[in-house]
Structure 1
Amino acid sequence: MTETNNSSPEYDVEIPSREQLLSLVTERPKPVPFDDFISHFKLDDERQQVGLKRRLRAMERDGQLVYNKANSYGLPERMQLIRGRIIGHRDGFGFCQPDEGGKDIFIPHHQMYSVLHGDKVLIKPAGTDNRGRQEGRVVRVVEPRNNDIVGRYFVEDNIGIVVPDDSRVSQDILIPDNDNMGARHGQLVVVSITRRPNRRTSPIGKVTEVMGDHMAPGMEIEIAIREHDIPNEWPEGIDEELAQYSEEVPKEAYAGRVDLRDLPLITIDGEDSRDFDDAVCALPEDKGWRLWVAIADVSYYVKPGTQLDNEAVNRGNSVYFPNNVVPMLPEKLSNGLCSLNPNVDRLCMVAEIEVGPRGKLKQSKFYPAVMNSHARLTYNKVKQILDGDKELREQYKDVISNIEELHNVYKALAAVRKRRSAIEFDTQETRFIFNAQRKIERIEPVKRHVAHKIIEECMIAANVVTARFIEDDDDVNALFRVHEAPADERLTNFRAFLAELGLSLSGGDSPTPTDYGKLLEEVKDRPDHELIETMLLRSMQQAVYQPQNEGHFGLALKSYSHFTSPIRRYPDLILHRAIKSILRKKEGSEEGLSGAWSYSDKQLDDLGVHCSMTERRADDATRQVDEWLKCEFMLDHIGMEFEGVVSSVTNFGLFVRLNDYQIDGLVHISNLGDDYYQYDNQKGMLIGENTRTIYRLGDNVKVRVKTVDLDERKIDLELINAESPTGKQRKNNSGKTERKRQQKGNSKPRSGKPRKRSKNKASSSNKGSNKS
């Protein structure tokens, strides 16, 4: 049936549109029987009645209407039905995330039998559970999850079973003998569901791809890509569009552009970076500086409506895994024409900014240009140059002045950042070092120094002036990077955590970035400062993309956008097109502004939601890979002892972050010694009933690695002893006796059976952080 008019091409008869049907149901005080539709719209032809029935079923399937037991059609909202997405939990229950926003609704075990994680459903609120959570009953699946399931294939009593790798899918999937594609016991496979689960039977599926052995190098990335439905194959037509571009900038592209090839622009990136989308230059001027931030002009090559653009929207952003990347754009662009490689001409969009002697951003202007990078520098080289390395200073003597002025600009901008009380974190990041077999050789800290901060401040300056530029135009809009103040519940929990450490956060119910800044300054010399910063980060809301500017709380800025990475973030590409659109309107010329585009409000709303989702999707996928790699690494450390700090307290135990590797593991409550422990939710601590021993956030502990479960991505620890932040030592009975060293390969099912789903245990992951 077509939805664009009232006729059905199949029957060549007139039937009401969805809008007309919804209007009738809305007007009626009660649900509408099928015969009432027929009489109201005078559908006498039998073909019209068949077409109507099919359209009503389609609307029912899409959740627009509900067919009730009285054989009538009603509106979901009038029946107190809520449409949302199912979020499964490893312990069998789940939640419904409402499409309209608001708190998730708890779905008990017995309601989860007939749904899968990712399904779109209609649910009916059904009171509250014993923990005060809103509970729901699944009424109907309106849109089954559309992505396949990755899992391990097992044969048990001659029956093929796939145990999903994603623990949010709690049902095992039955595989008929002729649908296993020859998969061997224990191999990873991709499964398509052929019969959905119900209250009495498990789902049935067929294997569509045999991925390989469980421990094969790189398998963790393949799993994450599929589980999170990350697009990683280029659709047909992309190669034809790319074929129009050579390896060099097209001659016609130079017209109308400012020639900056003599300006000593340089790129500063990591040692292993392959795409360079930003270049910078600073020259002294009137006691201040003139700062150029040149960004690859992706909008010239990727035009709206093309296959390249459609796929860039679909991906939303590049996804960076350890030693691997799923790019937003094909390599010919991301590592070629849109990468500001040294000593080659490249097209760019430029933010030229006047920076005052005290770091104030004064006048700024934007324009398309052509540039030629004078040097490809790394963060470490820049630091060494600033530290006086004679060899490097000689090698890069032509750009030394630029580097030193960039350093001066940074110091002025950093002073402004401090005055406005932007929240600055100094959390420890790590990176994996792989051997030739792509196994982790070691985990080492990432040292962030002045060179990183130089580029960060330059990029923030460009993002600020760009946001202001968009705000000043009444006709053209783009996406802003919005970071709202912490929500009430998170703020309350954070204050409770601080109180246990003898700390407090000023600002009452509405703390400002200044209040957070004071706290960070107060704790910077404490041994548990990293933990406090982590908890502060968790108290923050997640930054999003939206066309309504509501400021950036973390950076303490009234206006902020993302201008600096159109190679890897679609919102930046949207912004470049908007800038060109404004310039075209002001200058009345098309020269140099190819790719200009102005979006409607509806388009921007939809793109903001989509790009925020793809960013979260990428974060979840990379976090999953990190968890798996950390667990694989810790397999070689079973039985070893480590110092750590309690990073989280739950009703089932303590999460401990190992100091050496910044890896989290779980000390289950059963491994805390000879006592019964009760969880104090308000204070975030476990308290022994008899000994009154207390375990809380920030405790320094000594632990032993007990087991590692690759399937569940969990590291189990046992406590040897603990020390509170006040220095009082607490000996644990379980630490008095040496445990036998555990065997490797704990993740394998015993007797060839699928793993059991553990109860009350959560993944040993680092909790998510917000990005600026």
Structure 2
Amino acid sequence: MPRMGPPAKGQKAKKAGGTQRAARKSNAKRRADDVAAPKVETAPLPRARVKAAPRRDTLPSKTEIRDFLATTGGRVSKTEIAKHFGLPTEQRPALRQLLSEIKLDGTTAPMGKRSFVGGGTPGAKPVRAVRETLPETGVVEIFGTDPDGDPIARPLNWEGAGRPVVYMHPERRGQTALATGERVLARLKHLGGDKYEGRTLKRLGQPQDRKRILGVFQDGRIIPTDRRQKAEWAVPPGEEGGAKGGEIVLAESLPSTGFGLRPARIVERLGVVGEPRSVSLICIHTHGIPDIFTAEAEREAEAAREVALGTRTDLRDIPLVTIDGDDARDFDDAIFAEPDGDGWRIIVAIADVAHYVTPGSALDREAWTRGNSVYFPDRVVPMLPEALSNGWCSLRPNENRGCLFVEMRFDGQGNKQSHRFGRGLMRSAARLTYEEVQAAQDAGEEPQGLAAGHMGRLYGAFRALLSARERRGTLELDLPERRVLLDAEGNVTGVVPRPRLDSHRLIEEFMVAANVCAAEELERLSQPCMYRVHAPPSDEKLKSLREFLGTLDLTLAATSTIRPSHFAALLEKVKDRPEARMVNETVLRSQSQAAYEPDNLGHFGLALSRYAHFTSPIRRYADLLVHRALVRGLKLGGDGLTEAEAARFPDTAEHITATERRAAAAEREAVDRFLAAYLAERVGAVFAARVSGIHAFGLFVTLDETGASGFVPMKALPQDFWIVEEGNRRLLGRQSRQVIALGDPVEARLREANGQTGSLLFELQMGGKPAPMRGGRKRKA
């Protein structure tokens, strides 16, 4: 598992030479470690007076205990709780277990090992406190670390506006650090807005075998939204947290009684299932994606103002334009090109996010934690608050914006001759979409507001870069991306493939060129670089790929040094064959995953020896680090990369690689759920599909129309004795001699579409009729 955050800033700064500010912080931390944590009691609390009740042989509910503590002043011991409820001695062990659970709920304040602090407002069920600020002491749960490696927590039982964040002091010397998921009783100091400082008063531990559950609350049960979780959970009376039937809830497991469904307590209500917004909301919480900014980060973003020219290069007279999708939510790159002798001069200007998001700021902490923006069909979870992502860091037309730019010169064949980086002030001439740019180029016209020849110059430079790419030999997969179309209410109206236009490739080539220059420049300056790396496929994956290709009478170059051009030759050979899509998908699965690394490993897919992301600092933290490194190396300002940040590069690389993969998984899952909701109205319909997976327990099929994938269980195949030939990736009917192979076209009838889990269930149509459903086991060859 990747670390939740980098090591302590003070320690890293010391190893790296450090700044005075980092050293002062380190000393402050040591002084804090040397001071014993304050005790809960500043003055002795009186013990509560409790009357003995008649004997009862059943334990009180948690609600009864909470109500008793809320209406009882002073210090209440476990013995007095037992006395109040008339519990005999043999019930004491069970009472201790129940009180331990209540401690971890955070609904009471523990006082030592055997007592609680009474007082409060009683209620028939545990009600979260609604208040403008947190109390002076309270139970908090650690959920991660900040960029300095210190634990950060959130309060339990909070229903006020916003989500307070508690920055915890390090533990005393000799004590282990607070772990993610651990709950502590903390003394809290309000620092303003939703930000608090916390000091540990008592460590309450971590619930044993606690499990977080996301699901739909219905009839006293929680139905998980994760298709991999089949078991439901029971919500005991008093543990509903105010949830109503049909709501999406976040819950945590409770100790099992050993009978029936496992119990769980609802800790958060997220919305009503079936609402269009619930799809992406489920994905956000399933994958733990932070979606609310701290008040301090929001204030910093709101305080941002226009960049002054100062010592910047004035680019406002250059007609830079942005080109994005018509559904783009931010515009952080702009381009310009013109002839330069026999070659081309290209300028790529990128929003100057580093000017607004400085090291150690609240914005920086938020950006580091998120790692990247996450894009869903109906919303975006941005890396930066809207005041920046859609405001001062969005290159809106006819508005002054600060930027970092690279000016590049290429010869007529697309070979780079030189490059130069700078910090500038620009003014976008137009906000264009891919479709209108392509239409203008095809028609020999110019988009409105641009001078004659503008498109021709952009496409001329693009063709030069493209020729260099083709000579280099890169891996280009033909896998159309699906686009989910929504109406004004967020309901799915259709699913279409995103077109692959030359205008898309134009932007890609300009961006790739700028990214290569950024990596080269940082190496020239001897500055740290956050490389984007992509390793060649492993020998094991290549072997598996070759075995698969053999079943289709295809071959991959038999060489010990595989190159992207070898894959390109393979894909060119199959591009007009029915199995082209399947081959593209299999080649994709054979590749290594790209990642971020402070050490250069090259980029196999792009056939580049060095590569770094520079062009999207609004939505990727890696790009922001590259910007800061360039600012420092080129002496473009005082907001460049710090020594402490540079020392943390290995940890940061691991973290942002993990957040990128988390985002990709959430985005894929959201599309699957939207598709399932869309197809739910077409249950019983028959679709053209292809077999996309063969396993001992059934088939997977992918629909031609939407790209949606679903499962066909073995019992939904024609009556036969099916032999699974995994090596040949096919099923063989022993009696009928019928073969179902990977990539075969089939007709699939939709039997079930579950929008809550995103799962689709099909049965194959054989001879125009659905295959009969039956039981029975199938033998694996």
Q: Same fold (TM over 0.5)?
A: yes
Equivalence for 2:286? 227
Displacement of 1:292 = 0.3
Equivalence for 2:548? 497
Any idea what SS the aligned residue of 1:471 has? helix
1:264 partner letter: P
Mapped partners of 1:426, 1:548: distance in 2: 30
Is contact 2:719-2:772 (8 Å) kept? no
Equivalence for 1:333? 388
Equivalence for 1:207? 266
Picking from 404, 424, 432, the partner of 1:377 is: 432
Verify: 1:293 aligned to 2:348, yes or no: yes
Equivalence for 1:401? 453
Displacement of 1:185 = 3.6
Mapped partners of 1:693, 1:582: distance in 2: 66
Structure-2 change in CA distance of 1:624 and 1:6 (3 Å) = closer
User: Matched residue pairs, number?
Assistant: 585
Verify: 1:348 aligned to 2:392, yes or no: no
Identity, % of aligned positions: 36
Mapped partners of 1:146, 1:281: distance in 2: 55
Verify: 1:358 aligned to 2:409, yes or no: no
Structure-2 change in CA distance of 1:198 and 1:259 (3 Å) = farther
Residues 524-557 of structure 1 deviation map (CA, whole Å, 9 limit, x = unaligned): 1212212211111111111100101101111111
Residues 498-546 of structure 1 deviation map (CA, whole Å, 9 limit, x = unaligned): 1111101114354211211110111112122122111111111111001
Mapped partners of 2:38, 2:462: distance in 1: 70
Equivalence for 2:329? 274
Structure-2 change in CA distance of 1:7 and 1:647 (3 Å) = same
Equivalence for 2:723? 678
Equivalence for 1:435? 487
Equivalence for 1:166? 226
Equivalence for 1:577? 628
Any idea what SS the aligned residue of 1:683 has? coil
Structure-2 change in CA distance of 1:196 and 1:540 (3 Å) = farther
Structure-2 change in CA distance of 1:548 and 1:636 (3 Å) = same
Mapped partners of 2:694, 2:250: distance in 1: 36
Structure-2 change in CA distance of 1:257 and 1:597 (3 Å) = farther
Mapped partners of 1:627, 1:547: distance in 2: 34
> Map of 1:446-595 to 2, 5 A cutoff?
446-474=498-526, 476-584=527-635, 592=637, 594-595=639-640
Over aligned residues, Cα RMSD in angstroms? 2.8
Picking from 198, 212, 215, the partner of 1:151 is: 215
Any idea what SS the aligned residue of 2:238 has? helix
Structure-2 change in CA distance of 1:168 and 1:663 (3 Å) = closer
Structure-2 change in CA distance of 1:581 and 1:641 (3 Å) = same
Residues 304-362 of structure 1 deviation map (CA, whole Å, 9 limit, x = unaligned): 10101100101110000002100000111111110111011100000111111100112
Structure-2 change in CA distance of 1:373 and 1:526 (3 Å) = same
Mapped partners of 1:203, 1:471: distance in 2: 56
2:440 partner letter: I
Mapped partners of 2:380, 2:530: distance in 1: 25
1:304 partner letter: P
Mapped partners of 2:210, 2:425: distance in 1: 44
Mapped partners of 2:772, 2:734: distance in 1: 26
Displacement of 1:596 = 4.5
Displacement of 1:173 = 3.3
Structure 1: runs of 5+ lacking an equivalent:
13-117, 121-140, 585-589, 722-730, 741-758, 761-772
Mapped partners of 2:37, 2:685: distance in 1: 71
Equivalence for 2:702? 657
Displacement of 1:473 = 3.0
Displacement of 1:426 = 1.9
Is contact 1:348-1:369 (8 Å) kept? yes
Mapped partners of 2:652, 2:37: distance in 1: 35
Verify: 1:305 aligned to 2:360, yes or no: yes
Larger deviation, residues 317-326 vs 209-218: 209-218
Structure-2 change in CA distance of 1:168 and 1:675 (3 Å) = closer
Larger deviation, residues 563-572 vs 701-710: 701-710
The two structures have a TM-score, normalised by structure 2, of: 0.71
1:284 partner letter: P
Picking from 412, 417, 423, the partner of 1:368 is: 423
Any idea what SS the aligned residue of 1:283 has? strand
Residues 107-141 of structure 1 deviation map (CA, whole Å, 9 limit, x = unaligned): xxxxxxxxxxx999xxxxxxxxxxxxxxxxxxxx9
Structure-2 change in CA distance of 1:300 and 1:441 (3 Å) = same
Mapped partners of 1:409, 1:557: distance in 2: 20
Is contact 1:482-1:545 (8 Å) kept? yes
Structure-2 change in CA distance of 1:196 and 1:486 (3 Å) = farther
1:458 partner letter: F
Mapped partners of 1:180, 1:643: distance in 2: 45
Residues 173-217 of structure 1 deviation map (CA, whole Å, 9 limit, x = unaligned): 332211113433443212134x35698896543222333432111
Equivalence for 1:669? 714
Mapped partners of 2:647, 2:257: distance in 1: 39
Displacement of 1:716 = 1.5
Picking from 378, 397, 419, the partner of 2:471 is: 419
Equivalence for 1:695? 740
Displacement of 1:4 = 8.4
Mapped partners of 2:639, 2:622: distance in 1: 18
Any idea what SS the aligned residue of 2:731 has? strand
Verify: 1:324 aligned to 2:399, yes or no: no
The two structures have a TM-score, normalised by structure 1, of: 0.71
Mapped partners of 2:286, 2:393: distance in 1: 30
Displacement of 1:458 = 0.2
Mapped partners of 1:119, 1:528: distance in 2: 47
